[in-house]
Amino acid sequence: MSHIAKAAFWAASITAIVVFLPFHRAVPGRAKRVVATAQIQAYLTALEAYKKETGDYPSTSQGLDALRTNPGVDGWNGPYIDRDIGPDPWGHAYIYRYLGREGIPSVSVLDSKMK
């Protein structure tokens, strides 16, 4: 994992924890949204590091797991995140989509969860 990607991942993780702690009892739904947003930002930062080294983002079928395990791509120098890709705060998989070189990748949770 590059130093920039590692620093960004830990900054986002620490931010999520610091922001999460005051809200976890009073507003659990809000805290989950904050944690999910921070995790998504960490994944997007790692995806940028992946693209910088490989020339493109992982395909939709390769998914976020390409940030941890080389999917057979030249230039891969990961892992780009320290932990396995876990579920979102509601227990569901994060949704990753990349439509090719014309698009940008997206990482999301089920829309109803972020409201």
Q: Which of these ranges, 16-20, 71-75, 76-80, 89-93, has the smallest mean pLDDT?
A: 16-20
**Does pLDDT of 48 surpass 60?**
yes
H or E element: which one contains 95?
strand 95-97
Rounded to whole angstroms, the Cα distance separating 28 from 100 reads 36
Rounded to whole angstroms, the Cα distance separating 82 from 95 reads 19
Average pLDDT over residues 11-36: 62
At 91, is the pLDDT very low, low, confident or very high (cuts 50, 70, 90)? very high
**Does pLDDT of 23 surpass 70?**
no
Q: Where are the alpha helices (DSSP H) in the chain?
A: 3-23, 28-54
Q: What is the pLDDT of residue 30?
A: 85
- Residue found by looking up tokens 């921070």 in the block: 38
Beta strands 95-97 and 106-108 are antiparallel
CATH number at residue 100: 3.30.700.10
At 58, is the pLDDT very low, low, confident or very high (cuts 50, 70, 90)? very high
Q: What is the pLDDT of residue 67?
A: 97
Number of domains in the chain: 1
Q: Which domain holds residue 75?
A: 3-114
Q: What is the pLDDT of residue 12?
A: 52
